[in-house]
Amino acid sequence: AEVTRAAVRLEAPDQSPGARTRMVFAVTDTNGEVLGLYRMQDATTFSIDVAVAKARNVAYYSDPNDVLPIDKDTPFDPNNTSPEPIDPATAFTNRTFRYLSEPRFPDGVDGTPAAPFSILNNPSIDPTTGENIGAPAAASTFTSVLGYDAFNPQTNFRDPGDAGVMPAVGASTRANQNGVVFFPGSTPLYINNQIVGGFGVSGDGVDQDDVVTYLGATEFLPDGVNIPRADQVFVDGVRLPYQKFLRNPFG
């Protein structure tokens, strides 16, 4: 983080080239418990919440023993022309979530259908304008990933919570959840090809977040052999993204 050039910060007072990033780092286990949280000096304070949410999101979504089929499998069925179904152990990141939630799939191509996670898949929404068709529909009818998240704040997709988590008296069983982040800067973490948690980074531009995420989790990344990554998966002939790096991140 201290050598990655920032996108959202002013130049140093001495006019030395390129301010460097200031990040917040979060590590959670597969229950969403925060194992580590660190904020660099002068990092944005809102990034504390964002980094924790990212870590929790990828830890749940990339855990084949935890993620619900309605979250990972069902949204892909209409457009998935891949010869093999998507392995529930496939490692996804928040960049992947963002790409699958866009109003067009692939993003930037006019006239293409909405992405599998998009709220435009709801039958009460005009997919061209994004406006309601008739009277506003009940929140319960929004079943897409983005639609469900919009009307069920503070949830981690449809994660019902873990049996091992003991919430406070009177608290929701959905412990350790604080919403889904639909922009990059995360990766699930693995030891010996077993998912052990999630890593979230926030504090600068999304590509800067991805660079710092990759370098911070190098020894714990999915290997792409025993654990497939999202960028090895095609949906309707479109390769999904996993992470993206700047051409010259340390410039």
Region 24-239: CATH code:
3.30.450.150
Select from 217, 212, 220 the least CA-distant residue to 249: 212
pLDDT score of 77: 46
Of 7-21, 26-40, 194-208, 215-229, least confident by mean pLDDT is 7-21
Q: What is the DSSP string of 90-138?
A: -B--HHHHHHTTSSSSSTT-TTPPPPTT-GGGSTTB-TTT--BSSSPPP
* Interval 206-228: pLDDT, tens: 999 999 999 999 999 999 999 99
Count CA atoms closer than 13 A to 94's CA, side-chain side: 29
Whole-number pLDDT of residue 166: 59
Write down how long the chain is.
Answer: 251
| Residue 172 pLDDT | 57
Asked whether the predicted pLDDT for residue 235 surpasses 90, the reply is: no
Q: How confident is the model at residue 86 (pLDDT cuts 50, 70, 90)?
A: confident
pTM for this prediction = 0.90
Is residue 181 a contact partner of residue 94, using CB atoms and an 8 Å limit?
yes
Q: What is the mean pLDDT of residues 126-150?
A: 92
Gap between the Cα atoms of 103 and 94, Å rounded: 17
**Residue 149 — very low, low, confident or very high, per pLDDT cuts 50/70/90?**
very high
Decide if 58 contacts 32 (C-beta within 8 A).
Answer: no
Domain assignments of the chain as residue spans, ordered by start: 24-239
Average pLDDT value for residue range 131-139 = 94
Instruction: Confirm if 52 and 29 have CB atoms less than 8 A apart.
Output: no
Model confidence pLDDT, tens digit, residues 56-81: 999 999 999 999 888 876 455 444 45
**85/150: higher pLDDT:** 150
Arithmetic mean of pLDDT over the chain: 89
Mean pLDDT of 131-156: 92
What the block records as the tokens of 212 is: 């710092």
| Residues paired with residue 24 on neighbouring β-strands, in sequence order | 39, 202
Which residue has better confidence, 184 or 78? 184
